[in-house]
Amino acid sequence: SPKGFPKLKNDTFLRAARGEETEHTPVWCMRQAGRYLPEFRETRAAQDFFATCRSPKLCCELTLQPLRRFPLDAAIIFSDILVVPQALGMEVVMVPGKGPTFTEPLKEVEDLLKLRQKVDVTAELGYVFQAITLTRHSLEGRVPLIGFSGAPWTLMSYMIEGGGSTTMAKAKSWLYRHPEASHRLLRLLTDVITDYLVGQVAAGAQALQLFESHAGHLGPEQFQDFALPYIRDIAQAVKSKLKEEALPLVPMIIFAKDAHYALRDLAHAGYEVVGLDWTIRPQEARAQTGKDVTLQGNLDPCALYAPKEKIGELVKKMLEGFGTQRYIANLGHGLYPDMSPEHVGAFVEAVHAHSRHINKH
């Protein structure tokens, strides 16, 4: 394998992503490397958030922490979606109690000229590639490593809002007032994201997830105009570049939070896996996406506040809804900082136990 990586011992997640049969349903959690783990808080305590992201050694350590505790079926590299706007020349800082904050968000169309129009991803984001290579070796083939990026609309919304927002009104006003400039920005992001994802595979990522976390702020028509075409383009461009560069064709996951209205389109957007949030019934999601994609999700993260026995019941119900094949268990969004690691463990174990039981009978 490239770069002399260790041989993979547990490929359940990759087989499920490709639609092959699995003995148990694989499981991983969005934000599994996170503040709910005391060891994560300890590792991160002395460091600025983005300085941590730029340290391959720390990213590797944080990625491995949850795997030391839980029998997860995949690791996801510790990083952040906002490293892409940073690569375009924008400054983003992590403000305690507030979250990621852009010192100079995009206000006017002219501000697009301040962005780097050509990004050398190895120069700007090489630290992520180094973290992936180091982590892939450090995993010693235990489980596959997932790389990721934010999707164009989600990144655009942060770049204009300057941080989180409940309405995304500033970013959405661009879509209505400046449609052409919006498309210019989305195209620029698409090109950078494509190179970034291909670079992650070259560095050792064995699957890729695209996070369209702010999909739910768009209605069906705006999603059709300003999100879906770029989501499609990324899948197509990444795959053709991987072929050109003789790199492995890794499975790709699209997670568009709250975009139920677009599930049919997303199932045909060129991704092997469609991630789901917790606001849709498993049977309904299957009906809309058909038989040719794997589904991933979708337990309500807050279900992990329930007693452990209850978590087991909810997992069993979820597995009965999705079926154990062509399915990757996950939460419908990331883990929250105040969650109990024991309850995360109960979730992971319940997926393995119940899916094995269902498969046997």
Question: For residues 277 and 161, what is the distance between their CA atoms, to the nearest angstrom?
Answer: 23
Distance CA 132, CA 126 (A): 10
Return contacts of 342-346, CB within 8 angstroms, 24+ apart.
342/308, 343/304, 343/305, 343/306, 343/308, 343/311, 344/29, 344/32, 344/36, 344/66, 344/69, 344/70, 344/304, 345/69, 345/70, 346/308, 346/311, 346/312
Question: Which two three-digit tokens encode residue 157?
Answer: 């919304």
Task: State the sign of the Cα–Cα–Cα–Cα dihedral 72, 75, 79, 81.
Answer: negative
Neighbouring residues of 269: CB distance < 8 A, sequence distance ≥ 6: 228, 231, 232, 235, 254
Mark residue 146 as left, alpha or beta (left: phi above 0; alpha: psi -120 to 50; beta: remaining).
beta
- Residue 351 CA to residue 215 CA, distance in Å, equals 28
Active site residues: 31, 35, 44, 80, 158
